[in-house]
C-alpha cells in the first residue's frame, strides 16, 4: 500500500498493492466508464428504482453519473487548492466525532440527491482518500460494494498506525 500526493500536500489518496492507480483516480475512472456504470446500474436496478432515488432508467442513471463525476472531481480539487477540503468532507454519520487521531470522512457528489461518495481519513487539515462508491441504499452495510469501502477505511487507518503516522508531521516525513 502506498500514499499518493494528489494536490499540494493537502489531498492524498491510497494506492493498494496490485492496483494500477490510486483510489482518487480509480473513482473517477469508474464514474466515467459507460460500460462500468451500465453494468453497475443494471445490477442495482431495484435499489435505483425503489430506494431514495426512485429512478426507473439505468440509462438516465449513467448519464447523471457521467455529468456529475466531472463536476465532483473539480469541486474536490478546487477545495484542496483553496485549502478548505474540510468544507467538503463531512462525518460519515451524525454519531462520529473525532477527538484527535484519524477522522473518517465522506464527500458527497455535487447534485442535490447525489449517490456519489468519496471516503477519506482526516489528519489535521489533510485528507487521505481511501475509496469511493455509488451509494443507493440507506446504510453502507446493505450492499457488498459499500461494505468494502468501510473495510478499506479501516485498512488504511491500520496502515497509518503501523507506520507510526498520527499527525501532519508524520505524514510529511513519509517517503512518497
Grade residue 101 by pLDDT with cuts at 50, 70 and 90.
low
**141 vs 66, more confident:** 66
Grade residue 1 by pLDDT with cuts at 50, 70 and 90.
very high
Grade residue 93 by pLDDT with cuts at 50, 70 and 90.
low
- Per domain, the residue ranges of the chain are 2-171
Question: What pLDDT does residue 84 have?
Answer: 82
Q: What is the DSSP string of 99-159?
A: -SS-EEEEEE-SSTT--EEEEEEEETTEEEEEEEEE--SSSGGGSHHHHHHHHHHHHHHHH
Checking if the pLDDT of 33 tops 50, the result is yes
Amino acid at each position: 500500500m502506498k500514499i499518493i500526493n494528489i494536490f499540494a500536500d493537502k489531498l492524498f489518496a491510497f494506492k493498494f498493492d496490485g492496483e494500477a492507480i490510486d483510489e482518487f483516480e480509480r473513482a473517477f475512472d469508474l464514474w466515467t466508464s459507460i460500460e462500468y456504470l451500465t453494468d453497475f446500474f443494471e445490477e442495482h436496478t431495484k435499489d435505483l428504482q425503489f430506494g431514495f432515488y426512485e429512478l426507473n432508467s439505468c440509462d438516465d442513471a449513467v448519464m447523471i453519473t457521467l455529468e456529475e463525476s466531472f463536476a465532483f472531481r473539480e469541486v474536490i480539487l478546487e477545495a484542496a487548492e483553496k485549502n478548505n477540503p474540510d468544507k467538503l468532507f463531512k462525518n460519515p454519520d451524525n454519531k462520529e466525532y473525532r477527538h484527535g487521531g484519524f477522522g473518517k470522512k465522506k464527500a458527497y457528489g455535487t447534485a442535490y440527491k447525489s449517490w456519489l461518495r468519496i471516503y477519506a481519513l482526516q489528519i489535521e487539515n489533510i485528507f487521505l482518500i481511501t475509496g469511493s462508491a455509488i451509494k443507493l441504499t440507506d446504510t453502507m452495510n446493505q450492499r457488498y460494494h459499500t461494505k468494502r469501502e468501510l473495510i478499506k477505511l479501516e485498512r488504511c487507518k491500520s496502515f497509518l498506525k503501523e507506520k507510526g503516522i498520527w499527525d501532519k508531521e508524520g505524514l510529511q516525513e513519509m517517503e512518497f
